[in-house]
Amino acid sequence: MTSQLAILGGTPVRPQGYPDWPDVDEATVQAVADAVRSGRWGGFPYPGPQTAEFARRFAEIEGVKHAIPMANGTITMEVALKALGIGWGDEVIVPALTFAATAYAPLAAGALPVIVDVVPGTLAIDPDAVEAAITPRTKAILPVHLGQVMADMDRLEDIAARHGIAIIEDCAHSHGKQWRGQGAGAIGAFGSFSHQSSKILTAGEGGTLTTNSDELAERATSIIDCGRAKDPAEERYTFGANYRLSDIQAALLVAQVVKLEAQIVERAKAALYFEELMVGMDGVTLLDVDPRMTRRSFYRYIVRVDPEAFGGATNDLVCDALDEEGVGCWVGYPSLTRDDLFQPWLSRLPAAMEHADRLRPEAWHCPVSDRAGSTETVYLDENVFRAGRQGVEDAVTAIRKVRDAAGDLRSLIAAAG
C-alpha cells in the first residue's frame, strides 16, 4: 500500500515534534539543589518552608483560602471525603468519563462510587443524571473538569444545595481555570489538584487540596499528617496517615508555579487559533466552549472524531496516525462503566449489594461516555499549544491529512483483519 500517511511510510507533517514537558530550566535545578542543601527534605513537621510557600502561591492563583499540598491527586479526593465524614454506606456520584482515581477515592474512603453519564457537548458530568441518581445515601458529587472544559457548576451547586450534599471538584486537569470569575477548586467544599508528571503544574508526583473552609482545612491537614492537630500544642488527634508532600517536591512546585500563568495564556491563545482553523473540518467535533468559563486552561485538549469520516478508524488508530505525523495525542480514558474494577454487582460493599437491583449491568449504561471513550476521544498533548501559530497549523494539517486518507485507514484496518 502506498500512502502519504506517516504511519504507512510517508513523510510526517511535523518531524521535529513539540516542546518537551516538563519544562526544565536552570531556576528549577537551582531550587531543588537549594532544597537539598537546606537539609529540610521531608514533609515533617508539616508544612515545610517550601510546602508553605507553594501553598500560599497556589491558593492565590485559585482564589481560595486554603491550599494543602499532599502526596498525589488521588489521595486528595480520598482525604476530602474523609474530612467531610463520608465513608461506609455512603454514595458518591462520579462521571463515567474520567481517570479511575475519581472512582477509586470514594472506594478508598469506604463509600460507593455511583457512576453517571456525561453530556455530549462537554463530556462533563450530566446534571440531570446526577439528580436522577440521588438517594438518601448520597453524600457528595465528584465532578471532573475534564481536558479544556468545566462541569456545569451552576446546575451542580443548585442540586447540591437542594439535597444538602457536598461537591468535591476533581481539578486534576484544571489549574487556573475559572467559572464566572471563581477559580476551579474554589467552588465546591474541596478542589483536588494533581501535580503528577504530565500535569500542567508538576513535581513529578504530588497533589493539592483546596478549600475555603477553615474547619475542613484543619481536618484535611490532620488526616494527611498522621492525625496530628494543626497546632502542635494541642494534644488532639484524628484518624490519619502520612500523606505529606516532601519539601524537595514542593521546591519543584515553587519553581514551576511562577511560569504557570504565562503557559496558561499561551495555551489558551493557541486553542482559540486552533478552534478558528478547525471550523468546517467535517468528521471532527470540538467540545462546547461555555461562556461561563471565564478563564480557559487545559491539561490536554479533547476533540471527538467520527470513525465514519476516518474510514472506520476509531480513536486508537487515529491517535497512532497523528502520533506518527509528529502530533502527540492519546485516546484518553475508557468509560468507567467498561472497567471491571467498578462493576458494583461484583462488590462486597454492603451499600452496593443492597442496591444490586438498581445497579444491574443493564442499568449500568452510560451511552455518551461509552461511545466517546471507546471510539471518539482524541486528547491532544498540551505542548501542541505551546509551539506558536505554526505548531497549531501543523496539528490541524495533520488531522486533515489523516482524515483525508480515510481510504488508506480502511485498507489498514482490513489488512489487520
CB of 286 vs ligand PLP, minimal distance in Å: 20
- Looking at beta carbons, which residue is closest to ligand PLP? 73
Q: Residues 170-209 vs ligand PLP: string with x where CB under 6 A? A: x-xx--------------------x-x----------x--
DSSP state, 384? G
Query: Catalytic: 199?
Result: yes
CB of 350 vs ligand PLP, minimal distance in Å: 26
Size of the site for ligand PLP (CB under 6 A): 14
Q: End-to-end alpha-carbon separation of the chain, Å?
A: 15
Q: Which CB sits closer to ligand PLP, 246 or 412? A: 246
Q: 238 is written with which cell numbers? A: 484524628
Q: Name residues contacting ligand PLP, limited to 20-79 (CB under 6 A).
A: 72-74
Q: 381 is written with which cell numbers? A: 498533548
Q: Does 102 bind ligand PLP (CB under 6 A)?
A: yes
Q: Name residues contacting ligand PLP, limited to 354-383 (CB under 6 A).
A: none
CA dist., res. 248 & res. 329, Å (int): 30
Closest CA to 64 of 180, 146, 184: 184
CA dist., res. 89 & res. 34, Å (int): 47
CB of 236 vs ligand PLP, minimal distance in Å: 29
Indicate which single residue of 84, 123, 144, 305 sits in contact with ligand PLP (rule: CB under 6 A).
144
Indicate which single residue of 50, 51, 98, 256 sits in contact with ligand PLP (rule: CB under 6 A).
98
Q: Which CB sits closer to ligand PLP, 82 or 173? A: 173
Q: 42 is written with which cell numbers? A: 521531608
Q: Which CB sits closer to ligand PLP, 18 or 379? A: 379
Indicate which single residue of 101, 125, 159, 313 sits in contact with ligand PLP (rule: CB under 6 A).
101
Q: Of residues 139, 177, 199, 401, which has the active-site annotation?
A: 199
| Number of residues written out for the chain | 417
CB of 170 vs ligand PLP, minimal distance in Å: 5
Q: Which CB sits closer to ligand PLP, 31 or 70? A: 70
The C-alpha angle with vertex 146 and arms to 74 and 362, in degrees rounded to 5, equals 85
Q: Which CB sits closer to ligand PLP, 77 or 396? A: 77
Q: Which CB sits closer to ligand PLP, 209 or 409? A: 209
Residue 341 CB partners (closer than 8 Å, separation 6+) = 100, 103, 104
Q: Where are the alpha helices (DSSP H) in 152-226?
A: 153-163, 214-224
CA dist., res. 376 & res. 406, Å (int): 15
CA dist., res. 45 & res. 56, Å (int): 17
CA dist., res. 382 & res. 170, Å (int): 19
CA dist., res. 290 & res. 292, Å (int): 5
Q: Stretches 57-65, 82-90, 95-103, 356-364: which one binds ligand PLP (CB under 6 A)?
A: 95-103
Q: Where are the alpha helices (DSSP H) in 364-405?
A: 367-371, 388-404
Question: What is the binding site for ligand PLP (CB under 6 A)?
Answer: 72-74, 98-99, 101-102, 144, 170, 172-173, 194, 196, 207
Task: Please give the positions annotated as active site.
Answer: 199
